[in-house]
Amino acid sequence: MLKIAVAGGSGYGGLELISILLRHPNVEIKAVSSEQHAGIEVCRLYPHLRGIVDLRFSPMEEVLSSAADVLFLALPHGKAMHVVPKLPAELIVIDLSGDFRLHDPDEFEHYYGFPMTALESLPEFVYGLPEIGRDRLRGKHRVANPGCFATATILALYPLYRESWIDGSVYVDSKTGSSGAGRTPTPGTHHPRRSHSLFPYKPFAHQHLPEMRQVLANSDNPLIFQAHSTPLVRGIFASHYLKLKAPKTAPQIEELYADYYGREPFVRWIPGMPDSSSVEHSNYVDIAASTDGEHLIVWSTLDNLQKGAAGQAVQNMNILCGFEETTAIDQAPLFP
């Protein structure tokens, strides 16, 4: 049994990690941190876990010094970079924040608004999107877990970029639920603001945009990305608009995605159009497309707390530790 520690367990990402790890047959959660709630039972903060988990939140230092085999960092952006350099090299670390996703520290500072201070640790991290880099993960001890918007868009566009099917720019219209903004409400994220509203935010400035560009890496097909807040709790729904270099039929497009993702356990090709409710509370990504022969619309949808965060983090842990990749994250989506 691997010993697991979760730093930042009181937020929605940390909570989702706890819920998944509780049903994992090969691990045991030994410590969960929360500076604000240290000493309080996890089930007191989250009553739905009463009778299921008997953990208490601990101060960060206690969690970092625990004898864990795997440490999940579910901390706000900018916190992990101060923690990682102090950790033992043999400890497996999976960071759910954006601190170690970008290779270029100048670009990091531009999009996140503060400098990357752990430059010596940055080369140790591998980008953890298994469907495009599973082999790069094996044998590693440090993983930068992808962002939710980035996961949806990279998986939707990766085959098209790799095969050079795109002519010109790609326009991305992506929508997200309120849980992606975290547990602590702000003027732009609390319920009265979001519950009946649809609005854009961070035009040309969202921190997941350089992550997408870094992975897709094709200056001939620049991405224009816009995020929108929706009155959902969970979910990412991304629409991608582009022109094709050469005419393609619907069967040709479906064949392309089958070649790339046909054996992937969590990527599903959907005939017709996807629906965000079909992936809620699951690690699945649903992808669909429509074409007039010259232009293409590709849709992708996922649960931002699962495949967009905690589910993908456990998927990465399974690969690093030699477990079956789908262990504890193969549950069916919940509907209705």
Q: What is the Cα–Cα distance from 145 to 103, expressed in whole angstroms? A: 14
Three-point CA angle 145, 148, 150, nearest 5°: 85
Catalytic residue among 27, 148, 157, 160: 148
Three-point CA angle 73, 78, 84, nearest 5°: 50
Residue type, 156: A
Catalytic annotation present for 43: no
Q: What is the Cα–Cα distance from 79 to 81, expressed in whole angstroms? A: 6
Are the C-beta atoms of residues 276 and 301 closer than 8 Å to each other? yes
Closest by CA position to 299, among listed 262, 330, 257: 257
Helix (H) or strand (E) holding 148: helix 148-162
Q: What is the Cα–Cα distance from 172 to 297, expressed in whole angstroms? A: 10
- As annotated, the active-site residues are 148
